[in-house]
Structure 1
Amino acid sequence: MLSAAALIVLTMAATSAGAPPHFQADSNGRATDGQVVKDGARPRVQRIAILPDRTTGRAWGIPYLLAAVEDLNIVRPDAVFTVGDMVQGYTRSTSLWNTEADEYLDAVGKLSAAFYPTAGNHDVISGTRTAGDATFAEQYRQRFGPVWYSVELDLATVLVLFSDEGLGDSKMGFSDEQIAWLSGALQSASKRNQPIFLLMHRPMWRYPSVKWNDRVQPLLEKAGVDAVIAGHFHALQRDPDVGGVQYHIVGTCGGMIDQHPLAGQMQHLTFVDCTSEGALRVWHQPVGLVLPEDFVTRADQDRVFALREPAPAVRTDGKLPDPSTLTAPTAAVARFVVKNPIDVPIHVTLDPPGVLRNANGPAVWWTAGRAGQGTPGTTGGANGWTSHTLADVDYASTMATNARSMLRVASGACEYDVPAKSEVIIEVPVTLMPQSGTILAPQLDMYATFVDSKGRTVPIYLPTRLPIDRTVQLGTDLANAVSLPVLAWNYSPYDTREENPTLQFTRSADGKKLIIDALVPDQLQAAAPSWSAPDAKRKNDPHADAIRVLIESPALAAPIDFLVEPFTNGCIAPDGVIMKCQTSAGTGWTAHMEVPLPASAGALASIQVGIADNDDTFHTQWRWLAPAGAAGRWRLTEPAMSSK
């Protein structure tokens, strides 16, 4: 008998795609820990890479080729082919042609896989303008190899054709000799019972003079050819299948392009996957986007975290005027304390490299594929990609558009270098715009950048919500009470997506109570498992939706500080406080609180109100009336006395 600690070995056939395996389970249906799953065999795959056209006439094409070689050495295909046009050519100088050939061969010489070329028009046509001039075709045979041949790989056969036999003749076609060779090569390939595909530079099926449908297509169908792949047009495209044969035209890898990728123009690699079961699949990937295992190192990631946590490197210092009190654009200065805790200098800016904006703020973030391969606006480099992280964490219901619209900041207004392990105070001139209604906290999108161990500029996003100097004006009734937002003053990507709660403050008719009315958008009202008198921990981090009220005044014997969890069973407001709560399924809840606070004390008081949102999860998010959390306060102002 096996002991409980013995290994359980489970042998199974290959599971269907996307389906979990059938793990060994106990009598209660729970998967048994410690088992060994022997996965069933799957078809073997042979991956073949294809380099598209490189010709540009400009030096900026070569970095894409070099990046492609780096990609391929990470992917490690079984073989690498081209579709031709490896040199600029069209020259009368064999010396220049050889220099260009050296440049290409030096690049592909760094490949870890076998390399098989295809001849293109740029590789073989002479600059003498004499059709049939074989000078450079012979150079090609000496430097690169034959112009038509086949390669028998483990799981596929590749036939390379020559699409420029006329060597400058405007009439495209295949010679009888090449067709005869193709017929025999296809017969041999078909006997292997494995995928077959053809490579050529020009898409010869597009030229009427070739008579493809009469001379070539029948041979392909008879042999069971899977695909034909060509280049030349510098535009990726997929032609319709004919007789079970796929037709593909690839784009460029360093070649000249001038249009959008959706127009088929991109620097890319093409891959052909062939399986032991006879399947073939063609797919493409932009150059420079295969990331090495050390794309980001531990040392650089430690720097990133140090600039973000436990406190962001950029912190506010002081308060700005309340935009709701302004009647015209008002100049102000936003002050920040910048602490650089890392071992390299940082640069603090509002205009980091790579951030592309729209009218509402940052939209996408440009990322270079690999170090040293260039960034937007430079003259060379491999592809990068755009990250939508900035837009994903931005949402208008709580911050973003309205928060940014309160501020006008000139380009270049914040450009500060901060040495390693140092702290400085910086000032940013801003213009505050007058606002009305429910005013959000003004937001500045700050960035701290540093140069990492690979020489790249790394931007760290530090959105900063600026404290404002606000007075809470009490109304005589709800109709004339200002609606004030309750905000997440400290930015977090985990902010909940509901709109901000709002508060209205009024004075009771008898002048003895402060009345607080809360409107809380909340799709899920959460209760704690049980209620007990809240200690400091529960006040700071309740396990339920909650309201916390803090009031200080010299006229009070002790500060007021209480927490109410309106949906927790058994929770009641503290002595003397009247609280009524109503819910609206799926939309939120309201709370009406009457707090003993005579006008004599209120005139000297300051207040903070926090609203906690739990949503039946581990985490609870606080939003506060004033910045600084439980330590924050805003002054209360009693209602203006009406004249009689």
Structure 2
Amino acid sequence: MSDKTTIAMKRRHISTTLFLFIALLFSCKEAPPVFQHDLPSSNQPWTKSQFDNDSEKFSFIVHSDLTGGERPRIYDVAVEQMNLLRPEFIVNVGDLIEGGKPDSTSWIGQWDEFDERANKAKAPVFYTGGNHDLTGNFAHGIWEKRYGRSYYHFLYKNTLFLVLDSDDHGSIRNDEIEKMRNEGIRILEEEGEEAYAKTDYANLPERSYGNMSEEQRDYFLEVLQKYPDVKWTFLMMHKPMWDSPQNERFAALEERLTGKNYTVFNGHTHTFNYQVRKGMDYINLATTGGAQNNSRGRSMDHFLWITVDNEGISIANLLMEGILNRQGFIPAGGDTLVFEKK
């Protein structure tokens, strides 16, 4: 190696070292305070200088059903409104597509359309399956090809989210219910609602309350055992499984959650209902574009804004008709729509 080459290498080494030293010097400088002012220490025109900006705090949105005869444009307005609010993520409680008879082309097209609409949200959207999405093994097969398992969990900032499949009755029972549902749909289309109300499917307990397989129960029991020290647990599902006369599998999850902080969200009824069960909030959302039913209570288009921090949670119920853009209008031309059945 020549002397010139050795000198050049030493110069490069010195330059690199100097660069790293300067970078380290600047990185060690203290960041400027978040809040700055030039007023004296007393007589300040504000209540406190401790801001509600804990690094562990986060907010997310829960939205509800689109189906049972989706009302045009409501969900598209909801996505624009959620983009105005800027949650960290969005979760729903199922019935995202209409579904129907086994027809892979129809189902794939419906899921393609919903995916395209949901992808317009700035935040990630986590799917929960409802009866329109998951009744029967055929519907489960479509879901699994597109999205994987129909029940799952995730952690975010030491907060646990359980996303349940309330139409997971086991393979054999799934087939039986699918056949009853297909027959019910045929009678509804050919003979009307009065005849449909007398069908086996219309009077099926699982249609109202849902259920879960033993495999799903065991999966969530294992998850809860694996994460015993989370600060809060949220359960997302479509049907209110706890209302079923045969709710032993869901009851096993409630038993495992005893003494812990948790909240349950569901949809399905298209009617808002709040109840306290086992000392915890169980909230049945109404609609976010689905057909409305106010025969048993309030039915409105809305979503929930949930904030989590180390002190607990807060839940705000946001009516879509009241979320306006900076110009004072409901976004996406929503001022022409009706958001609540009176």
Q: TM (normalized to structure 2)?
A: 0.71
Q: 8 Å contact 2:293–2:299 — kept in the other structure?
A: yes
Task: Read off the aligned partner of 1:186 and give its amino acid letter.
Answer: L
Residues 194, 88 of structure 1: CA spacing in aligned structure 2 closer, same or farther, 3 A cutoff? same
Q: CA deviation at 1:105?
A: 1.3
Aligned mates of 2:249, 2:141 — CA distance in 1: 27
Aligned mates of 2:276, 2:255 — CA distance in 1: 16
Aligned mates of 1:175, 1:148 — CA distance in 2: 11
Q: What whole-Å deviation, never above 9, does each CA across 1:33-92 have from its counterpart, x for those lacking one?
A: 8xx99712444531111120100335xx24110011011101011110110100101222
Number of the residue aligned with 2:242: 205
Residues 214, 134 of structure 1: CA spacing in aligned structure 2 closer, same or farther, 3 A cutoff? closer
Q: CA deviation at 1:272?
A: 1.9
Number of the residue aligned with 1:52: 64
Q: Where do residues 96-495 of structure 1 align in structure 2 (5 Å cutoff)?
A: 96-125=106-135, 133-154=136-157, 156-166=159-169, 167=174, 169=177, 170=204, 171=206, 172-191=210-229, 193-211=230-248, 214-222=251-259, 224-242=260-278, 244-259=279-294, 263-277=297-311, 279-293=312-326, 295=327, 369-370=330-331, 372-375=333-336, 381=337, 383=339
Q: 8 Å contact 1:229–1:250 — kept in the other structure?
A: yes
Q: CA deviation at 1:196?
A: 0.9
Q: What whole-Å deviation, never above 9, does each CA across 1:192-247 have from its counterpart, x for those lacking one?
A: x311110111110011112267423211215x1421111111111012231x3221
Number of the residue aligned with 2:19: none
Aligned mates of 1:371, 1:87 — CA distance in 2: 21
Task: Read off the aligned partner of 1:264 and give its amino acid letter.
Answer: R
Aligned mates of 1:45, 1:102 — CA distance in 2: 34
Find the residue that maps to 1:209 and give its secondary structure.
coil
Q: What whole-Å deviation, never above 9, does each CA across 1:271-322 have from its counterpart, x for those lacking one?
A: 2221133x123332122532222x15xxxxxxxxxxxxxxxxxxxxxxxxxx
Q: 8 Å contact 1:54–1:87 — kept in the other structure?
A: yes
Find the residue that maps to 1:134 and give its secondary structure.
helix
Aligned mates of 1:152, 1:9 — CA distance in 2: 44
Residues 212, 272 of structure 1: CA spacing in aligned structure 2 closer, same or farther, 3 A cutoff? farther
Number of the residue aligned with 1:67: 77
Residues 119, 258 of structure 1: CA spacing in aligned structure 2 closer, same or farther, 3 A cutoff? closer
Task: Read off the aligned partner of 2:156 and give its amino acid letter.
Answer: L
Task: Read off the aligned partner of 1:240 and give its amino acid letter.
Answer: V
Aligned mates of 2:330, 2:324 — CA distance in 1: 7
Residues 282, 189 of structure 1: CA spacing in aligned structure 2 closer, same or farther, 3 A cutoff? farther
Aligned mates of 1:211, 1:37 — CA distance in 2: 51
% identical equivalent positions: 23
Q: 8 Å contact 1:67–1:288 — kept in the other structure?
A: no
Q: What whole-Å deviation, never above 9, does each CA across 1:372-424 have from its counterpart, x for those lacking one?
A: 2253xxxxx3639xxxxxxxxxxxxxxxxxxxxxxxxxxxxxxxxxxxxxxxx
Task: Read off the aligned partner of 1:270 and give its amino acid letter.
Answer: L
Q: 8 Å contact 1:52–1:270 — kept in the other structure?
A: no
Residues 70, 145 of structure 1: CA spacing in aligned structure 2 closer, same or farther, 3 A cutoff? farther
Aligned mates of 2:239, 2:250 — CA distance in 1: 16
Q: CA deviation at 1:113?
A: 0.5
Which structure is higher in strand share? 1
Aligned mates of 1:182, 1:9 — CA distance in 2: 55
Q: Where do residues 12-23 of structure 1 align in structure 2 (5 Å cutoff)?
A: none
Q: CA deviation at 1:154?
A: 1.9
Q: TM (normalized to structure 1)?
A: 0.39
Q: 8 Å contact 1:163–1:202 — kept in the other structure?
A: yes
Number of the residue aligned with 2:104: 94
Aligned mates of 1:372, 1:213 — CA distance in 2: 42
Task: Read off the aligned partner of 2:67 and give its amino acid letter.
Answer: T
Ranges in structure 2 where 5+ consecutive residues have no aligned partner? 1-36, 178-203
Aligned mates of 1:184, 1:115 — CA distance in 2: 25
Aligned mates of 1:213, 1:148 — CA distance in 2: 14
Task: Read off the aligned partner of 1:143 and give its amino acid letter.
Answer: R
Which structure is higher in helix share? 2
Q: 8 Å contact 2:212–2:250 — kept in the other structure?
A: no
Q: Kindly report the root-mean-square deviation, in angstroms, between the aligned alpha carbons of the 2 structures.
A: 2.6
Residues 269, 38 of structure 1: CA spacing in aligned structure 2 closer, same or farther, 3 A cutoff? closer
Aligned mates of 1:213, 1:114 — CA distance in 2: 28
Q: Which has the higher contact order (CA 8 A, sep 6+)?
A: 2
Find the residue that maps to 1:246 and give its secondary structure.
strand
Q: 8 Å contact 1:71–1:289 — kept in the other structure?
A: no
Q: CA deviation at 1:162?
A: 0.9
Task: Read off the aligned partner of 2:106 and give its amino acid letter.
Answer: L
Aligned mates of 1:217, 1:247 — CA distance in 2: 12
Residues 382, 158 of structure 1: CA spacing in aligned structure 2 closer, same or farther, 3 A cutoff? farther
| Structure with the greater alpha carbon radius of gyration | 1
Number of residue-to-residue matches in the alignment: 267
Q: CA deviation at 1:258?
A: 4.0
Aligned mates of 1:199, 1:138 — CA distance in 2: 21
Q: Where do residues 522-561 of structure 1 align in structure 2 (5 Å cutoff)?
A: none
Aligned mates of 1:207, 1:159 — CA distance in 2: 20
Q: 8 Å contact 2:217–2:249 — kept in the other structure?
A: no
Number of the residue aligned with 1:457: none
Aligned mates of 1:41, 1:369 — CA distance in 2: 30
Q: CA deviation at 1:185?
A: 1.1
Q: CA deviation at 1:123?
A: 0.3
Find the residue that maps to 1:190 and give its secondary structure.
coil
Q: 8 Å contact 2:97–2:133 — kept in the other structure?
A: yes
Q: What whole-Å deviation, never above 9, does each CA across 1:526-551 have from its counterpart, x for those lacking one?
A: xxxxxxxxxxxxxxxxxxxxxxxxxx
Aligned mates of 2:39, 2:331 — CA distance in 1: 44
Aligned mates of 1:234, 1:173 — CA distance in 2: 19
Residues 213, 373 of structure 1: CA spacing in aligned structure 2 closer, same or farther, 3 A cutoff? closer
Ranges in structure 1 where 5+ consecutive residues have no aligned partner? 1-5, 11-23, 26-30, 126-132, 297-367, 376-380, 385-644
